[in-house]
Structure 1
Amino acid sequence: MIVAFRSMLQEAFKGLHGHWLTITGLVVFGSLLNGSFTLVDPLLTRAIIDKGIIGHDVRLFAVLAIATAVLGIGYRVASRLYELFGKKVQNQIAETVILQAVDDCLKVAPYGNDQTRSAGYYVSRIYDEPVSMATSLISGVSAVCVSGTSFVAAMVICVYLSWQITVGLLCIVPLLLYLANHFAPQLNSLVKRTAVEEAEAREVIGGVSQASRTIQIFSLAGHARTLVRQSLGKALALGYDGVKAAKTYDMYSQSLLTVAEVLVFITSGYAVAVGNLTIGGLLAFMNVFWKLISAGRRISLQYSECVAFVSKIHRIHEFGATSRAPVEYEPPQTAVVECDAITVKYDDKLVLGGLDISIGPTERILLTGSNGSGKSTFINLIAQFLTPSDGRMRVISVQQISAALSPFYFLPGSVKDNLQFDGLTRLEKDRCFALAREMGIDDCMNAVSTTALSDGQRKKMQILMALLKDADLYLLDEPLAHLDIASKEAIIRMILRETSGRALCVTMHGDKQFWQLFDRVLHIGGLGAEEQRERDEIRTVV
């Protein structure tokens, strides 16, 4: 148990080194508070009985009674401060870990590394698990330190009052340690597996809620309920097994403590009968013994929370370990993009094969191809959200690139928040409003949420965000999707005008009437290098 607990502390400070001072302060505050009260309170009780009441010293009795009352009130006030301090530390830790998880997610997600995961999974990993971990840290690891101090202080007073009775109680300790070591691996495994299944269940529930209209239109409610029931069943079953194991451990440990209580009643009563213990000593011993039992119970209950903490922080470390380093391509020599025999595979499925493309500093490239041909994959390669499986790629830095990719998600908040409008200069604000007016979305600029925008308005807002960034290369994935026929020509001509003198790469599916506006039209088909080059030559429009 001691070895396992040391491991818990090492894990805590490994991932939370920035909070070690506040965590240590919390533990020291709680330990001093509970330890001192545990030491002083039973001694005051013995003095009140033996010297105040039995000794007929009324003045001493009054002084000690007032001191006991002041001690009790002070302890409760300080305990409240300790609990509030603990909650504040818990919130600080949760905030730090959540923000770190957000940074890790931005490196991991969602395009290249794990396309099978939905938003629900990441919400669980980014928010639920760090909050749960911080709770386990404070209510488990920190609380065990405090309870352990109380336990040691109570044991010291027990030895002081009657070492014979205390020696008998120590026989229980090895059994408690055996129980802790026996149940720890099982609890650890169950907590990890439960966290995994809960993340999966949240992902399924999030997917079902997003697909509500599809479910209603195609009568998929039965299948949706089955999916939710299956995912919940696994998570709830593991949660039940975890509670069962924890409660079984609690039952055995509490039973041992109950045996200890009975032994104390018998031995202390005998000590008073034979004159080895005074009445005041008996009451003081019973006082401190209950503190000892209470601390022991808290430790036994909090130990499972400590084990849970280790499992949870391992999960957080694992999530951080999956984050990828930023893609760093070699800088191109003369072009903004140079691809030599680029190949991309997803799970051994060829998406792009043998692709040879270069984009000049002022060149306007149009990428066409059927659905699933790899147009968006190529755009994400250039944007450096993906790395090729094979081949050589040279691209300018991501700071020099602006992009509107599909799917495109706005940050929660207003339109101006997403445009970082308050940070724009006066000229940039004027240009922003002019472009918005040209696209017919100037009346959307004051929208308090992007969710209020229609699909067409959202698409235009994406284009506006991309054009506002000063870049050397603009990547626009299906910029004419969701737009009415009347808007398409105006939008494409505006894009070409606003990116004049810069490189532009646009993907389209159809809309052939605009192909002649580009320097080159490249057909992406996910084919080998030789066939891809042949198609490029056929579909190139100069």
Structure 2
Amino acid sequence: MIRAILADAAYLIGPNRRSYVLALAWTAGIASSLTLLNPLTTRWIFDVAVPERRFGLLVGVATAATITFSGIRWLDYQSQLYQQRLTNRMVSGLTQRLMEAYYRLPVNTVATQDQGYYVARTMTEVQDTAGPVMGIGAGLLRSAATLVTALGTVLLLSWQLTLVLLVVTPLLLLLSRYFARRLGGDAREVQEQTARQQAVHTHAVGAYRAVRTFSLERRAVTHLMDAVGQRLNALYTLSKTTGLYGTLSRMSLGLTEFTVLTAGGYAVMTTSLTLGSLMAYMGAYWLAVNAVQNLIDLIPQVGVLQAQTERLREITATPPRQELRFSTELTWNNVSCGLGSVPALQDVSLDIPAGARVLVRGANGAGKSTLMLTALGLLEPRTGTVSRPALTSGLIEPFVFPALTLADLLGEDARAEPLIAELGMTELMNRRFTDLSLGQRKKFVLVMTVLREADLYVFDEPLANLDDQAQETVFRLLLERTVGRTLLVVLHGADQFLDHFDHVLEVEGGTARLHTHTPGSSALPLGIRSAILTPPVSATPAG
């Protein structure tokens, strides 16, 4: 168990091990100093200064104790600040590791949950897990140092009274270990239900316009409250277990306190213990009792922390290596794929030659986007295999980018400036993607796609939401920038575009068929002038 706890701690602490050990040592030193000085000062005052009526000694001891304790408290304050800075570093580092691991997760794994779910897993759970690591570790060591120092002190003062504490403490620690396992499972369930509620909540808030427009308030709120209820039930179970544990431990400590007080009073009455020694003993004893109480409170929290750490490890664990098949051609071999319980496409077998320009057609919901996701490697087939070029570029609706400005998304790519200027987006570079109109978003996706060097390019409805002039420019750039590379373009009502493609991919009825097309049999679309468009190019793929 100890080895597992240390392994989890090392995982959460990351590269901050030296700083963490320093923080723990700092805390232990402060705890031991306070625990030792407090009862000794009390005994010195009431067994020496007061009986001998030495007022000067009394004032001197009190003054020295005040100065010493104030200095230690100031050091304790500085220790807390150091711990908070260290906690911030651990949370920051773990968040970075979780997000980097998230982007490495298998695409089918990510597709099983909503955005809000993974926000909870990579943000909320990181804070809830890494945040308490410093506090729990420091609390355990502070309590342990206090308990050891206090026990040494009370043993020197009266070993008979100390036996009561030595008997009860192991029993309480066994009780804490039993409840730690139960609390760990309960805490894990709370985190899972919290992540699920956050996913539902994210959808509910994001659907504001749809809810208002279509009067979906009752259904939306009912769905949300179901998720809230499951999370609150999990919280109640955790609270119930925590409360039972706290009640039993405090009942045991209460009995111990009563026994020690009775025995201490009897010792004074029989003159086997001086008043100063009794006061010093009780001061050290209460410090020991508080340390035991803190330990039995913190040990179950370690179990909770282990359960939370296990959930974080699920994301950062190296996923099983997927067999990648690369080739110059794009091939589907007996592929079945889809995001729902029923595959959108079944037994698809296609062979698209390198450098082909393919128009993808099909009704809404036919499976065009699903097929394009497999082409880009963003969706793994359930059965069969997909072989694709190693370098691919493209996005499938809905388009989502990180919350950076367009300039930051583009980076220091000198090729972007003329493209941006030609598309009339120069003045938009300080905006974020979500601030753009639908047409502007299409243009930016085109820029991001063609700037990436690839052997396969995929475009999903690149002309939607564009006026005639913008369609001219976008379609021309699309063709010019992908010469000699394999090109897949999804378009609705695309008969007028056939002259610019040498293959047509029909997606219908859960399957897909590839046809060869001979240019020259179709009219150019209205608004796209033949003088501007380049004719189809037969070229070999770039090496």
Q: Compute the TM-score of the two structures, normalised by the length of structure 1.
A: 0.89
Task: Tell me which residue corresponds to 1:357.
Answer: 350
Evaluate the alpha carbon distance shift between residue 7 and residue 161 of structure 1 in structure 2; reply closer, same or farther with a 3 A threshold.
farther
Cα displacement (A) at 1:28: 1.8
Name which of 347, 355, 373 aligns with 1:380: 373
Give yes or no for contact 2:420–2:426 (8 Å, CA) kept in 1: yes
**SS at the partner of 1:391?**
strand
Task: Return the alpha-carbon distance in structure 2 between the equivalents of residues 353 and 227 of structure 1.
Answer: 33
Cα displacement (A) at 1:349: 2.6
| Equivalences, count | 519
Task: Tell me which residue corresponds to 1:457.
Answer: 440
Deviates more, 1:467-476 or 1:97-106: 467-476
**SS at the partner of 1:343?**
strand
Task: Tell me which residue corresponds to 1:216.
Answer: 212
1:84 aligns with 2:81: yes
Task: Return the alpha-carbon distance in structure 2 between the equivalents of residues 231 and 205 of structure 1.
Answer: 9
Task: Return the alpha-carbon distance in structure 1 between the equivalents of residues 265 and 192 of structure 2.
Answer: 53
Give yes or no for contact 1:403–1:466 (8 Å, CA) kept in 2: yes
1:258 aligns with 2:249: no
Deviates more, 1:219-228 or 1:498-507: 498-507
Task: Tell me which residue corresponds to 2:398.
Answer: 407
Task: Return the alpha-carbon distance in structure 2 between the equivalents of residues 327 and 505 of structure 1.
Answer: 24
For each residue in 1:36-92, what CA deviation from the matched residue of structure 2 results, as whole angstroms up to 9, or x when unmatched? 221232112212222222234455444432331122112211111221122222222
Q: Which amino acid aligns with 1:450?
A: F
Give yes or no for contact 1:403–1:476 (8 Å, CA) kept in 2: yes
Task: Return the alpha-carbon distance in structure 2 between the equivalents of residues 540 and 404 of structure 1.
Answer: 25
Cα displacement (A) at 1:361: 4.2
1:19 aligns with 2:16: yes
Evaluate the alpha carbon distance shift between residue 66 and residue 541 of structure 1 in structure 2; reply closer, same or farther with a 3 A threshold.
farther
1:536 aligns with 2:527: no
Task: Return the alpha-carbon distance in structure 1 between the equivalents of residues 57 and 40 of structure 2.
Answer: 14
Cα displacement (A) at 1:165: 0.5
Name which of 439, 450, 459 aligns with 2:423: 439
For each residue in 1:264-289, what CA deviation from the matched residue of structure 2 results, as whole angstroms up to 9, or x when unmatched? 22222222222222222112112111
Evaluate the alpha carbon distance shift between residue 241 and residue 348 of structure 1 in structure 2; reply closer, same or farther with a 3 A threshold.
closer
1:468 aligns with 2:459: no
**SS at the partner of 1:412?**
coil
Give yes or no for contact 2:336–2:383 (8 Å, CA) kept in 1: yes
Give yes or no for contact 1:9–1:141 (8 Å, CA) kept in 2: no
Give yes or no for contact 1:363–1:504 (8 Å, CA) kept in 2: yes
| Superposition map of 1:130-141 within 5 A | 130-141=126-137
1:331 aligns with 2:326: yes
1:47 aligns with 2:30: no
| Superposition map of 1:12-411 within 5 A | 12-58=9-55, 60-108=57-105, 111-321=107-317, 324=319, 329-332=324-327, 335-344=328-337, 346=339, 349-397=342-390, 400-411=391-402
Evaluate the alpha carbon distance shift between residue 29 and residue 418 of structure 1 in structure 2; reply closer, same or farther with a 3 A threshold.
same
**SS at the partner of 1:239?**
helix
For each residue in 1:404-445, what CA deviation from the matched residue of structure 2 results, as whole angstroms up to 9, or x when unmatched? 32221111021211111xx223xx2xxx33322332333322
For each residue in 1:125-168, what CA deviation from the matched residue of structure 2 results, as whole angstroms up to 9, or x when unmatched? 00001110123322324312221221121111111111011012
Task: Return the alpha-carbon distance in structure 1 between the equivalents of residues 455 and 373 of structure 2.
Answer: 16
Give yes or no for contact 1:107–1:326 (8 Å, CA) kept in 2: no
Name which of 395, 399, 409 aligns with 1:418: 409
Q: Compute the TM-score of the two structures, normalised by the length of structure 2.
A: 0.89
Task: Return the alpha-carbon distance in structure 2 between the equivalents of residues 190 and 541 of structure 1.
Answer: 65
Deviates more, 1:434-443 or 1:71-80: 434-443
Cα displacement (A) at 1:541: 4.1
**SS at the partner of 2:253?**
helix
Give yes or no for contact 2:450–2:482 (8 Å, CA) kept in 1: yes
Task: Return the alpha-carbon distance in structure 2 between the equivalents of residues 382 and 413 of structure 1.
Answer: 27
Cα displacement (A) at 1:17: 4.5
| Superposition map of 1:449-528 within 5 A | 449-525=432-508, 527=510
Task: Return the alpha-carbon distance in structure 1 between the equivalents of residues 296 and 158 of structure 2.
Answer: 25
Deviates more, 1:508-517 or 1:231-240: 508-517
Deviates more, 1:200-209 or 1:344-353: 344-353
Task: Return the alpha-carbon distance in structure 2 between the equivalents of residues 391 and 501 of structure 1.
Answer: 28
Task: Return the alpha-carbon distance in structure 1 between the equivalents of residues 92 and 12 of structure 2.
Answer: 13
Give yes or no for contact 1:402–1:474 (8 Å, CA) kept in 2: yes
Task: Return the alpha-carbon distance in structure 2 between the equivalents of residues 527 and 129 of structure 1.
Answer: 40
Task: Return the alpha-carbon distance in structure 1 between the equivalents of residues 286 and 34 of structure 2.
Answer: 13
Evaluate the alpha carbon distance shift between residue 513 and residue 325 of structure 1 in structure 2; reply closer, same or farther with a 3 A threshold.
farther
Cα displacement (A) at 1:242: 1.2
Task: Return the alpha-carbon distance in structure 1 between the equivalents of residues 12 and 517 of structure 2.
Answer: 54
Cα displacement (A) at 1:191: 0.7
Evaluate the alpha carbon distance shift between residue 183 and residue 270 of structure 1 in structure 2; reply closer, same or farther with a 3 A threshold.
same
Give yes or no for contact 2:98–2:122 (8 Å, CA) kept in 1: yes
Evaluate the alpha carbon distance shift between residue 485 and residue 325 of structure 1 in structure 2; reply closer, same or farther with a 3 A threshold.
farther
For each residue in 1:348-368, what CA deviation from the matched residue of structure 2 results, as whole angstroms up to 9, or x when unmatched? 633333434344443322222
Cα displacement (A) at 1:517: 0.9
Q: Which amino acid aligns with 2:453?
A: D
Task: Tell me which residue corresponds to 2:530.
Answer: none
Give yes or no for contact 2:356–2:485 (8 Å, CA) kept in 1: yes
Give yes or no for contact 2:153–2:284 (8 Å, CA) kept in 1: yes
Cα displacement (A) at 1:345: 5.1
Unaligned runs of 5+ in 1: none
User: Could you say which structure has the higher helix fraction?
Assistant: 1
